[in-house]
Amino acid sequence: MSVTGSVCIIGSGPAGLYCAEEIKRLAPEVAVDVLDRLPTPYGLVRGGVAPDHQKTKQVIRQFEPLFSKGGVRFLGNVSVGHDIDISELRRLYDVVVIAVGAAGDRKLGVKGEDLAGVYGSAAFVGWYNGHPDFADLAPRIPGPGVAVIGNGNVALDVARILALTPEEAHDTDLARPAASVIERHPVTDIYVLGRRGPAQAAFTAAELREMGELAQADPIVEPHLLPEHPPEDMEPRAARVAKRNLEILHGFAQRARRDVPVRVHMLFHRAPRAILGNGQGNVAGLLVEHTKLVKGQVLSTGVTESLKVGTVVTCIGYKAVPFPGVPLDERRGVIANTDGVVEPGLYVVGWARHGPRGVITANRASAREAAGHALEHLSGKTTHGSGGAGLEKILSARGYRHVCYDDWCRIDAAERARAHDGAPREKFIHVSDMLALLEENRRHLEAVGVKVTD
């Protein structure tokens, strides 16, 4: 496809990079710049995938060639809406694609949600992953009980990370402050709960199976709540997933209990009704109601119980947060769009487009569609903006220093170098520390006569 012009992708997570990859595959002459407000690329692969899931993080290897030899530029430490407005980007670039994900937590909507000790999964997961936005979260985890609300993989991640022994955490990139807190305040009972039944849980079999492989934690399941088979009216694909999960859960229920310090209670048919306080503004418990499923509908039973917990982590889904200069669809929790089109020349991809769903590779479909929209728009243009050159000129005039891909490689190398034996890296968890490292490197190179350019 003989198309030229420039594309700016805002967000360097998988959705944005799949889009960049597709554009360069179909139209190699198109200039593609990927912006991120952090100095680090790869979005939720770095800041959301569980620290002990290093194989999943290897998807980064697919994207590295885009920056190193694929003609895609990375411009980190550029905050759209602060350093530059999206209206300016649209004048500079022929196409702008928004790939900022869904960073907001959905609310439970129950009394007590504002108590100290209640955290959304975006914040809690970001904290233990060393995301700069949540590096100073300092969550309250007094123990001995923690409630994790949700029946998806994120809930399993949170429960598993809290149950890891120091030895199990050793070969991960769990942020050091988080590892210290978890080790210092070990919990004995973790309650993973959801409103629906085990057949309706959104776990993947691989994640669920891991709950039975922890060194010092046992999964506990209530056998009487486990059906033998998925419901007959369940869609075939969902039924296959449910069948595998039920087999694993039955295995948990049948195996002998071990003498280990942590119990992970898999509680189904439980709906949170209130988070209970201790009179001093802190979480002291969670009131849940037993539910039942009738023709796919969750119904109340009136039977309640209280769980003694000092921490509540909600893992009930994400939503897009307001993005400066772009309309938000509050009802759907996404950036307002029609099939990925915000308006001609402005497109949205990934979770910001359709909400959080699927695994990392599930973003490919919307990325391909956004790439198609972008190239169709470019094919009709006869004049072009100044693109990246214009952006750099504006940022320089305003005193903003962007982080290029080579800079990221220096950060990456430093993180790997400072890791303890066996760990993949020890992350910098503050942007200021990353920028200080780059500035020190710059001064060193200039001192030995090497000219530094971006």
What is the rounded average pLDDT of the residues 32-40? 98
Percentage of the chain modeled with pLDDT above 90? 87
Alpha-carbon distance 265 to 222, whole Å? 9
| Per annotation, catalytic residue among 84, 86, 360, 429 | 360
State the total domains in the chain: 2
CATH number at residue 394: 3.40.50.720
Question: Would you give the distance in Å from CA 312 to the centre of its chain?
Answer: 19
User: Do 267 and 171 lie in a common domain?
Assistant: yes
| 200 in a structural domain | yes
| 206 in a structural domain | yes
| Per annotation, catalytic residue among 33, 105, 157, 218 | 157
User: Do 80 and 205 lie in a common domain?
Assistant: no
| 34 in a structural domain | yes
Assess whether pLDDT exceeds 60 at residue 454. Answer: no
Count the residues in the chain.
Answer: 454
What's the pLDDT at 22? Answer: 96
Q: What is the pLDDT of residues 8-20, one digit of tens each?
A: 999 999 999 999 9
The phi, psi pair for 152, rounded to 5°, reads: -125, -175
CATH number at residue 292: 3.50.50.60
User: Do 314 and 331 lie in a common domain?
Assistant: no
Half-sphere exposure for 408 (CA within 13 Å, toward CB): 22
**Domain end marker among 285, 318, 351:** 318
Q: What is the pLDDT of residues 149-168, one digit of tens each?
A: 999 999 999 999 999 999 99
| 38 in a structural domain | yes
Hunting for tokens 């769980």 — which residue is that?
A: 307
User: Do 99 and 156 lie in a common domain?
Assistant: no
| Exposed/middle/buried for residue 44 (C-beta within 10 Å: 0-12, 13-18, 19+) | buried
Residue 34 belongs to what domain range? Answer: 6-103+320-403
**DSSP-assigned letters across all residues of 410-448:** HHHHHHHHTSPTT-S-----SHHHHHHHHHHHHHHHHHT
Active site residue 52: no
Q: Which amino acid is at 54?
A: Q
What band does 452 get if pLDDT is binned at 50, 70 and 90?
low
Alpha-carbon distance 100 to 234, whole Å? 33
- By C-alpha distance, which of 196, 202, 187 is closest to 156? 202
Alpha-carbon distance 358 to 362, whole Å? 5
Top pLDDT among 130 and 450 is at 130
Residue 288 is labelled as binding a ligand: no
| 282 in a structural domain | yes
Assess whether pLDDT exceeds 90 at residue 439. Answer: yes
Q: How many CB atoms lie within 10 A of CB 305?
A: 11
**Domain end marker among 366, 387, 403:** 403
| 76 in a structural domain | yes
Structure-block tokens of residue 413: 């190398």
Residue 247 is labelled as binding a ligand: no
Active site residue 4: no
Active site residue 36: no
User: Do 99 and 111 lie in a common domain?
Assistant: no
Alpha-carbon distance 427 to 430, whole Å? 9
| Per annotation, catalytic residue among 82, 329, 361, 384 | 361
User: Do 273 and 361 lie in a common domain?
Assistant: no
User: Do 161 and 151 lie in a common domain?
Assistant: yes
What's the pLDDT at 453? Answer: 59
Residue 431 is labelled as binding a ligand: no
Q: List C-alpha distances in Å: 182 to 137, 139, 309.
A: 13, 10, 15
**Domain end marker among 403, 424, 446:** 403
Half-sphere exposure for 452 (CA within 13 Å, toward CB): 15
| 290 in a structural domain | yes
- Determine if residue 258 is left, alpha or beta; phi over 0 gives left, psi from -120 to 50 gives alpha, anything else beta: beta
User: Do 135 and 149 lie in a common domain?
Assistant: yes
User: Do 206 and 258 lie in a common domain?
Assistant: yes
Residue 285 is labelled as binding a ligand: no
Q: Are 275 and 113 in contact (CB under 8 A)?
A: yes
What band does 446 get if pLDDT is binned at 50, 70 and 90?
confident
Residue 351 is labelled as binding a ligand: yes
Question: Would you give the distance in Å from CA 58 to the centre of its chain?
Answer: 15
What is the rounded average pLDDT of the residues 256-277? 97
| 433 in a structural domain | no
User: Do 369 and 279 lie in a common domain?
Assistant: no
User: Do 308 and 345 lie in a common domain?
Assistant: no
Active site residue 53: yes
User: Do 25 and 53 lie in a common domain?
Assistant: yes
